[in-house]
Amino acid sequence: MTDDEIRQRQRSRAKVMGVLLISLVILIYGISIAKMVVAP
């Protein structure tokens, strides 16, 4: 595997990790709102 290929995979993993982290933040936000609505 060449250095370029390794860098490409690192970038790809970093992008997926970024998307997952943003999704998690949105999900936790959504759960907090939903819990407040369910049990005010």
Partner 1 sequence: MVSASPATETVALTADWRDFLALTKPRVMSLVVFTGLCGLIAAPVSINPILGFTAVLCIALGAGAAGALNQWYEADIDALMKRTEDRPLPAGRMDRQSALHFGVGLSFFSVLLLYLATNWVASAILAVSILFYVLVYTVWLKRRTPQNIVIGGAAGAFPPVIGWAAATGDVSLLPVLLFSLIFLWTPPHFWALALFMKTDYAKAGVPMLPVVAGERNTRIQILLYTLPMVAVAVLPWAFHLTGSIYGIFTAGASLLFVVLSLRVGLRQTVVADAMKPEKQLFAFSIIYLFGVFGALAVDRIILA
Binding stretches for partner 1 (CB under 8 A): 1, 6, 9-10, 12-13, 16-17, 27, 30-31, 33-35, 37-38
Q: CB of 1: closest distance to partner 1 in angstroms? A: 6
Q: CB of 5: closest distance to partner 1 in angstroms? A: 8
The three state secondary structure string of the chain is CCHHHHHHHHHHHHHHHHHHHHHHHHHHHHHHHHHHHHCC
Of 17 and 22, the one with the shorter C-beta distance to partner 1 is 17
